[in-house]
Amino acid sequence: MGTNRPDFAEFYRRSKDECLFTVLLSVGDRDTAQELLAEAFARAWASWRTVSRHPAPAAWVVRTALNAHVSRWRRHRREVPLADPGAIADRPTAGEAFDSPVDPRIMAALLRLPERQRQVVALRLFLDLDTARTAAALGIAPGTVQAHLGRAIAALRADLMPERQKETPS
């Protein structure tokens, strides 16, 4: 049992921050994301013999954390859709931006993506999974992964680029 500890510790050190950001993207709150992820990593340790042979252990951890979030959500949260789901937020105020661990404008743009596109962005860009592993983790075809990623990048470009271009003197 003790022999797997060094492997796990190295895996944890290497992947914890990327996993945290990926979960944060879905959960929206850093403390909640960290709590969920700590539990998911603990489960990974408890099943390390199996999880270490998973093609993408980090994706396993993220998925476990998000599944736990769904369970908690069902028991402790009441969620209602926004009246205008396409318009999650305008640019936050300076005070809100100051409190945020990430650039709130980019975070808002990511949160505006449809769920599947956000999952693909999270696995491809934040966990650095290749197309095949992303497809396997999400249970979709590799071509679908590419299509979702392309649409997500186009949406992010439309959201973020105009203002960025204005900031850059030609």
Residues 125-164 that bind other proteins (CB under 8 A): 125-126, 153, 156-157, 160-161, 164
Q: What H or E segment, with its residue span, contains residue 37?
A: helix 30-46
Nearer to other proteins, 143 or 150 (CB): 150
Nearer to other proteins, 135 or 138 (CB): 138
Cα dist from 146 to 134, 140, 160, whole Å = 10, 11, 21
Q: What is the distance between the alpha carbons of residues 67 and 65, in angstroms, rounded to a whole number?
A: 5
Q: What is the DSSP letter of 157?
A: H
Binds other proteins (CB under 8 A): choice among 20, 36, 62, 65: 20
Q: Does 42 bind other proteins (CB under 8 A)?
A: yes
Token code pair at residue 86 = 């396409």
Q: What is the distance between the alpha carbons of residues 154 and 169, in angstroms, rounded to a whole number?
A: 23
Query: Could you please report the per-residue DSSP string of 66-77?
Result: HHHHHHHHHHH-
Q: How far is the CB of 136 from other proteins (least distance, A)?
A: 19
Binds other proteins (CB under 8 A): choice among 7, 14, 46, 141: 46
Sign of CA dihedral 129, 132, 133, 135: positive
Q: Kindly identify the residues of this chain, within the stretch 69-128, that bind other proteins according to CB under 8 A.
A: 69-71, 73-85, 87-90, 92, 96-104, 106-108, 110-112, 114-116, 121, 125-126
Q: Does 14 bind other proteins (CB under 8 A)?
A: no
Q: How far is the CB of 76 from other proteins (least distance, A)?
A: 5
